[in-house]
Amino acid sequence: MNSVIEAINHRRSTRCFEEKPVPKEVLNMIVEAGNQAPYTSMTRSQPWRFVVVQDQAFKQKLFQTTFPIWKQSIEGMKTISLELYEMAMSLYNAMEEPKDVVYYNAPAIVFVIGPADNAVSCALACENIMIAAESLGLGSCYVGFGAMVKGNTEVTQTLELKADEAIYGPILLGYPKVNPPTEVATALEKIGPNKKDAQIKWIYP
């Protein structure tokens, strides 16, 4: 099979990583793939920039900022969707310490940052990053909760986040854990993707 198609077909969200750093040259290759994404003609140049986080102390600040938001949101699911609440809590309870249920203790976090009105172009860069990671044997995960950091001034200053910018992702990167604990593996299986066949309407000449 074509290697690009194979990477696209095999990519799945990774939420359990090995405690193994990703070499800088590999991360640079992946981010450069994101930089090669297409963008809208109105932009005339790449609208995005990237911040790659590997520092453990800063990752802890990110978690401390976003975990209360995650917790409040999950608690709210009790009345909206008990099934989703139970799935989320099943994984949280199964996780080993430290229980980072937002960034999943990923070795690297890539923030794709760009104009708030350029979501389409920046999303294309995110997709390139995840496909490139898969092709190089890494796992990735797009985490929406991970972008909810604007309430922490220290974090936004470190990211150099401007008022008219938004975070797309961030994207977690790392080597997937080969043999996660049984409880974690079971919880991850429950929240796995439910892929369906493409719905296609063919219009022939």
**pTM above threshold 0.85:** yes
pLDDT computed for residue 169 by the predictor: 87
Q: Does a structural domain hold residue 201?
A: no
pLDDT computed for residue 191 by the predictor: 83
pLDDT computed for residue 41 by the predictor: 67
Instruction: For the beta carbon of residue 178, count every other beta carbon within 10 angstroms.
Output: 7
Q: Does a structural domain hold residue 205?
A: no
Q: Does a structural domain hold residue 204?
A: no
Successive 10-residue mean pLDDT values, the chain, 205 residues? 92 94 98 94 85 97 96 91 91 91 97 94 96 97 96 96 94 94 89 86 94
CATH number at residue 7: 3.40.109.10
Structural domains in the chain (count): 1
pLDDT computed for residue 72 by the predictor: 94
